[in-house]
Amino acid sequence: MRFNSVFISSFLLASVALTARPRSLRLNLVERPANDSSDGIEYGDNWAGAVWHQANGTFESVTGTVTVPDVWGPTNSSATVAVGIDGDTCPNFAMVQVGVKATVTSNGTNYQAWHSWSPADWVLVDIAIFARNVIKLTLTISDATSGFAIIENVSTGQSVRQQLQAGRSGYPLCQQNAEWLLEDFFLNYTQVPLSNFSMVTFTDAKAVGNDSRIYTPQGAIISDIKQDGQVLTSVSVNDSSVTINHV
């Protein structure tokens, strides 16, 4: 797997073999007709949340504030919350995200912030995060191959800004999608079991287009996780928030 060139701003980072798999690579993706609250619901094996589809070059930033959920379940099960750009309809599989990962261990649940310019692996960010902390996630794109991410722990006042680049291998963004997600991620190309999690709500959720248009979750496509024929999540949206429940 290729690694991105990532420039850090005086904070310690660690690279790990975690991958936030784009929707365009997901297994068992199906669609059904539109429901009452959005243009439709899509099912796949690792994304739940709200995803915008727009023309190439549309999205310049996405942000959302989320209370880190309580996460529990079998050892090594996990869930992650993130905001991102691309990963759905972009044909070159590029995707940039920033979020918080929760993994159940024998000693409790471990929470870590991260960012990624897929298809490279995640980069962990050195900022303390715990369950029920309020975290603001912001992703801003300068152009198709560069941008920055901000992770702000509103509960503690700590904030980290990370410069991001696509890397020598390329993978420019299409800037077609903006998303607010809960994900079931992959470790060394194997999907980690999805843990149980308390309700996840992204508030003050918005994306900004290249014409300064504001995109709220209302009108975005709803995505739910479906594994082995079982729907594992339930998503609802309004004009400022995305709510994801485990079912």
For 60-104, write each residue's pLDDT tens digit: 999 999 999 999 999 999 999 999 999 999 988 899 999 999 999
Q: Give the H or E element holding residue 99.
A: strand 95-105
For residue 148, list its beta bridge partners.
Answer: 140, 163
152 and 159 Cβ atoms separated by less than 8 Å? yes
- Quote the CA–CA distance of 52 and 223 in Å, as a whole number: 11
Long-range contacts of 196-199 (CB under 8 A, 24+ apart): 196/71, 196/72, 196/73, 196/77, 196/246, 197/69, 197/70, 197/71, 197/72, 197/79, 197/102, 197/246, 198/69, 198/70, 198/71, 199/69, 199/243, 199/244, 199/245
* DSSP-H helix ranges across the chain: none
Residue 144 pLDDT = 94
Tell me the fold of 13-233. Answer: Jelly Rolls (2.60.120)
Active site residue 179: no
Catalytic residue selected from 42, 60, 179, 183: 183
- Residue 92 CA: distances (Å) to CA of 6, 25, 63, 115: 20, 11, 23, 19
Give 120-167 pLDDT, tens digit per residue. 778 999 999 999 999 999 999 999 999 999 999 999 999 999 999 987
Pairing of strands 41-44, 221-227: parallel
User: Taking the domains of the chain in order of start, what are their residue ranges?
Assistant: 13-233
132 and 116 Cβ atoms separated by less than 8 Å? no
82 and 99 Cβ atoms separated by less than 8 Å? yes
Which residue's structure tokens are 């798999």? Answer: 21
- Residue 75 CA: distances (Å) to CA of 81, 195, 198: 19, 9, 17
Q: What is the pTM of this model?
A: 0.86
Lowest mean pLDDT among 3-7, 22-26, 71-75, 76-80: 3-7
Confidence bin at 168 (pLDDT 50/70/90): low
Smallest CA-to-CA distance from 149 within 227, 73, 95, 209 is with 95
